[in-house]
A and B are shown apart, each in its own frame.
Chain A
Amino acid sequence: MEWMITANEPGKTYLMQGNEAISRGALEAGIRFAAAYPGSPSSEILTMLGHVADEMEIYAEWSTNETCALEACLGASFAGIRSLCVMKQNGLLVVGDALHSASLSGVKGGLVLVVADDPSAHSSTNEFDSRHQSRSAAVPMLEPANMQEAKEMVRWGFELSEQLQQLVMVRTVTRINHGRSSVTLGEIPQHKQVPAVIGEWDRLVAINWFKDAQIAKIEQARTIFEESPFNWYNGPGNPDMMIITCGTGWLYGVEAVKALGVKDSVGILKIGTTWPLPEEFIVKHLVRTKKVLVVEEVDPFLEQNIANIIAYHPELNIELTGRHGQKIIPRNGELNPDMVRNALANMTGTTFQGPEVASIPFEEAVPLPPRELTFCAGCPHRASFFLLKQSLRIHEGRGVVMGDIGCYTMGGQRAGHFLFNFLSCMGAGISAAEGLGQLTRFGFDQPVVALAGDSTFFHTCLPALVNAKYHDSNMLFVILDNSATAMTGFQPHPGIGLTAMGKTAEPISIQKVVEAIGCPVTVADPFDIAGTTEIVYILLKQPGLKVLILKQECATLAVRKRKKAKVWVEQDLCRGDECGCGRFCSRVWGCPGNIWDYEAGKAKIDEVVCVGCGVCVSLCPAGAIKIEGGEAYE
Chain B
Amino acid sequence: MSGGMELKNEVLASSTCALCGACLDWCPYIANIEDHLVLRFDCNIQNGRCYSVCPRTFTDWEAISEKYLSAIPRDLAIGPYLKAYKVKAAKGINGQQDGGTVSYLVKTILEDKLAETVLLTGADDYITPQPFLSSEVDDIQKTAGSRFLASPGMRKIIEAQSNNVQKLAIVGRPCQIQALRKLDYNRPPQKPEMEVLSIGLFCMWSLGWAFRDYIQKEFPGEEILRLAIPRHGFEVTTDKGVHELPIDTVKKFSKAGCNYCLDMTSELADISVGAFEPQEGWNTVIIRTLKGQQLFHQAVARGYLVSEKYPEDELNRLKSASLGKKTRNLNHIQTAFDKGVKPFIDLNSAYYVQLKELAEGMVK
A582→B36 contact, CB < 8 A:
no
Residues of A participating in the B interface, judged by any CB pair closer than 8 Å? 389-390, 393-397, 417, 533-534, 537, 578-584, 587-588, 619-621
Residues of B participating in the A interface, judged by any CB pair closer than 8 Å? 3, 26-29, 31-34, 36, 38-45, 47-50
What is the CA–CA distance of A536 and B213 in the complex, to the nearest angstrom?
17
What is the CA–CA distance of A226 and B33 in the complex, to the nearest angstrom?
72
Neighbouring B residues of A579 by C-beta, 8 Å: 3, 26-27, 45, 47-50
What is the CA–CA distance of A394 and B3 in the complex, to the nearest angstrom?
19
What is the CA–CA distance of A537 and B36 in the complex, to the nearest angstrom?
11
Shortest CB distance B21–A (Å): 15
What is the CA–CA distance of A583 and B29 in the complex, to the nearest angstrom?
11
What is the CA–CA distance of A435 and B250 in the complex, to the nearest angstrom?
36
Neighbouring A residues of B36 by C-beta, 8 Å: 394-396
Partner of A581 from the list B3, B28, B40 (CB cut-off 8 Å) is B28
Which residue in chain A gives the minimum CB-CB distance to B42? Answer: A588
What is the CA–CA distance of A582 and B3 in the complex, to the nearest angstrom?
11
What is the CA–CA distance of A143 and B29 in the complex, to the nearest angstrom?
54
A394→B28 contact, CB < 8 A:
no
What is the CA–CA distance of A13 and B100 in the complex, to the nearest angstrom?
94
Partner of A394 from the list B29, B31, B42 (CB cut-off 8 Å) is B31
What is the CA–CA distance of A393 and B41 in the complex, to the nearest angstrom?
9
A534→B27 contact, CB < 8 A:
no
Which residue in chain B gives the minimum CB-CB distance to A583? Answer: B44
Shortest CB distance B170–A (Å): 21
A582→B45 contact, CB < 8 A:
yes
24 interchain pairs, CB-CB under 8 A: A389-B40, A390-B31, A390-B38, A394-B31, A394-B33, A394-B36, A395-B36, A396-B38, A533-B33, A534-B33, A537-B34, A579-B3, A579-B48, A579-B50, A580-B49, A582-B29, A582-B43, A582-B44, A583-B44, A584-B28, A584-B29, A587-B44, A588-B28, A588-B29
Which residue in chain B gives the minimum CB-CB distance to A580? Answer: B26
What is the CA–CA distance of A400 and B71 in the complex, to the nearest angstrom?
56
Which residue in chain A gives the minimum CB-CB distance to B162? Answer: A623
What is the CA–CA distance of A584 and B38 in the complex, to the nearest angstrom?
16
The 3 closest A-B pairs by CB, nearest first: A390-B40, A621-B28, A584-B28
Partner of B41 from the list A389, A395, A396, A537 (CB cut-off 8 Å) is A389
Neighbouring B residues of A580 by C-beta, 8 Å: 26-28, 49
What is the CA–CA distance of A587 and B43 in the complex, to the nearest angstrom?
10
Neighbouring A residues of B31 by C-beta, 8 Å: 390, 393-394, 533
Partner of B28 from the list A389, A395, A534, A619 (CB cut-off 8 Å) is A619
Shortest CB distance A83–B (Å): 51
Which residue in chain A gives the minimum CB-CB distance to B188? Answer: A579
Which residue in chain A gives the minimum CB-CB distance to B213? Answer: A541
* Most B-side CB within 10 Å, residue of A417, A534, A579, A582: A579
Which residue in chain B gives the minimum CB-CB distance to A541? Answer: B213
Neighbouring A residues of B45 by C-beta, 8 Å: 578-579, 582
Neighbouring B residues of A390 by C-beta, 8 Å: 31, 38, 40-41
Which residue in chain B gives the minimum CB-CB distance to A619? Answer: B28
Neighbouring A residues of B40 by C-beta, 8 Å: 389-390, 393-394
* Most B-side CB within 10 Å, residue of A395, A578, A580: A580
